[in-house]
Amino acid sequence: MKRILLPLITFLALCPMLRAQVSNPNNKLRMAEYAISQFYVDTVNEDKLVEAAIEAMLSKLDPHSAYSSPEEVKALNEPLQGTFSGIGVSFNVTNDTLRISSLVSGGPSERVGVLPGDRIIAVNDTAIAGVKMPQADMMKKLRGPKGSKVDIKVLRKSQAAADTIDFRITRDDIPIYSVGASYMVDDATGYVRIDRFAMDTGKEVAEALKKLRAKGMKNLILDLVDNTGGYLDASVEVLGELLTPGSLTVYTEGERSPRHENPARPSGKKPLFEDGRLVVMVNQNSASAAEITAGAIQDWDRGLVVGRRTFGKGLVQRPIPFPDGSMIRLTVAHYYTPSGRNIQRPYTLGDQETYARDILDRLDSGELMHADSVKHDDSLRTETLRLGRTIYGGGGIEPDRFVALDTTEYTRYYRNVMAKGVLIKYAVDYADAHRKELRKRYKTDDQFVKDFKVTPEMLAELYDAAEKAGVEPDPEQAAKSEPIFSMIIKALIGRDVYDSPTYFKVYNLHDPIFMEALRLINSPEYDSLLK
């Protein structure tokens, strides 16, 4: 017993300040860390111990309070801050090779003559192709401080031969766009897709709306499908172009955070699209700022929400940075829509596993496939602010028009082909081999979308490539998946030969949520639902 007590007595003697406060539970963690650092039998990494303790504490709270290392903080912030320094290319990695799919217009790579389709095989004399280098490591080699130089070697293929070319590129600031596509669907209907709510999203959306209005836009489809959120202010800025100025967009409130309201503020004297039909596309992956946007539009009866119930992420995180660049994102309040709906779906403190299973539970319960499987809690029933339409709280934004998830084309054979990367490689190789021919035949991407067809011969080539890659043939399942195979091949070729928005011009014509949004916006039913 004496041998056990002696170290404790020694420990307390060594730290009189802690000894005086030993009865205070708030100091137990500090005392435990000090004891381990002073008396543990082996050498330990104190920084890792402290990080583990922080992560353990946060795991007992809500599902969105989290600790991030310095590297994770940088990765989290970069897509939201709007720029990074690099060479200005978008790329895919197939067959262990980085292949450039598109260039930033006027960016560093375009200025020196790099072309879409080029394969980067070496960076600063270090091979990156055929060496199984992780994609993250490839990106690190290409990125760097603005003004710094990087040497790359590319392999350029043509129908006749393949050549290697050396380039020296001066890195520059590269914009990260949050508006993934904007175009006129028909003579009166514009489409804007927001991938994330970042620092410049409000400006990007305003610019897109101006261009679409100049082309005659009277109706708008706003695509927030798979948009996982981002900055609250960006959502408020977007809503400022869609709602009457001064309208409440969202408010936040917590136990130790007083209510804070965010009114709609247009970038100019008046909103860019205050009138006109508006339909918002959402699904089960639309979260946070995307839910704020959809919720405000629904609450004010400004437009219709189409798709499936959104994710239900309505907790406000305050970043608490540490000197080493790491950070805690601590939940301090809830988001509420203008009608008072709490966006956050229910959770149990410390039960991360059940929370993470929610989407799978929705799938198992049939909620994603059948409108009558969606359950409502009458105690959370409320009304929209202008027309008094019935809406429900309780987590996520429930659409005005449900669109079922259709999985019939997603066969096991399709999943195996995609998992092997065969489809992407086939589309990339086809675009490489036929780029000039396609550009000559289809002068615009609209013409490509209208007239290009994926032929049975192309599908047969895909299936042969899949078999060579180790995917067991299954003609019956391949036939079921033929529509989605054809659509993705065409969309990827279009993106490669023309630009990123071309992908959505093709994809949307196959997307049930988009097709329902387009049908509604051009139907008398739109007015009947908003009366």
CATH of the domain at 401: 3.90.226.10
Provide the domain limits for residue 145. 83-175
pLDDT at 328: 92
CA 259 – CA 245 distance, rounded (Å): 20
For residues 189 and 521, is the Cβ–Cβ distance under 8 A? yes
Asked if residue 475 and residue 424 are part of one domain, the reply reads yes
Residue 377 shares a structural domain with residue 242: yes
Residue 448 lies in a domain: yes
- Residue at which a domain ends, from 385, 405, 425: 405
Can you tell me the distance from the alpha carbon of 495 to that of 493, in angstroms, rounded to the nearest whole number? Answer: 5
Q: Which residues in the chain come in under a pLDDT of 50?
A: 1-6, 8-9, 11, 18, 21
Residue 358 annotated to the active site: no
Q: What is the pLDDT of residues 218-271, one digit of tens each?
A: 999 999 999 999 999 999 999 999 999 999 999 999 999 999 999 999 999 999
66 located within any domain: no
Tally of domains within the chain: 4
Residues 395 and 329 in one domain: yes
Same domain as 358, residue 323: yes
In a domain? residue 504: no
- Domain endpoint, select from 154, 175, 196: 175
- Do 163 and 271 have their domain in common? no
Q: Are residues 345 and 401 in the same domain?
A: yes
Catalytic (active site) residue 28: no
Placement of tokens 């019939």 in the chain: 408
CB of 100 closer than 8 Å to CB of 111: no
Catalytic residue, candidates 68, 195, 313, 432: 313
Residue 119's domain is classified under what CATH number? 2.30.42.10
- pTM of the predicted model, to two decimals? 0.85
Give 363: exposed, middle or buried? Use CB within 10 Å, 0-12, 13-18, 19+: middle
| Catalytic residue, candidates 288, 326, 481, 486 | 288
pLDDT for 19: 52
Q: So what's the pLDDT on residue 1?
A: 45
Q: Which contacts qualify for 265-269: CB closer than 8 Å, 24 or more apart?
A: 265/236, 265/237, 265/240, 266/240, 266/241, 267/202, 267/203, 267/206, 267/237, 267/240, 267/241
- Would 380 be classed as within a structural domain? yes
Domain boundary among 388, 405, 422: 405
Q: Based on the domain organization, do 212 and 315 belong to the same domain?
A: yes
Instruction: For residue 235, give the nearest of 193, 264, 214, 258 by alpha carbon.
Output: 264
Q: Are residues 379 and 309 in the same domain?
A: yes
* Residue 170 domain-assigned (yes or no): yes
CA distances for 459 relative to 92, 330, 392, 477, 511, angstroms: 22, 50, 45, 13, 21
Pair 210, 265 in one domain: yes
**Does the active-site annotation cover 101?**
no
Count of CB atoms within 10 A of residue 80's CB?
A: 18
* Cβ within 8 Å of residue 155, ≥6 positions away: 118, 119, 121, 129, 162, 163, 164
**526 within a domain of the structure (yes/no):** no
Nearest partner of 195 among 89, 93, 98, 285, judged by Cα: 285
Same domain, 374 and 230: yes
Instruction: Map residue 327 onto helix, strand or coil.
Output: strand
Ranges assigned E (strand) in 322-408: 327-336, 381-383, 390-392, 401-402
**Does 330 share its domain with 418?**
no
Residue 446 falls within a domain, yes or no? yes
Catalytic residue among 172, 200, 223, 299: 299
Q: Establish if 282 belongs to a structural domain.
A: yes
Residues 345 and 322 in one domain: yes
Q: What is the per-residue pLDDT for 205? A: 98
The pLDDT of residue 210: 98
pLDDT of residue 82: 65
Single out the residue of 340, 348, 356 nearest to residue 393, CA to CA: 340
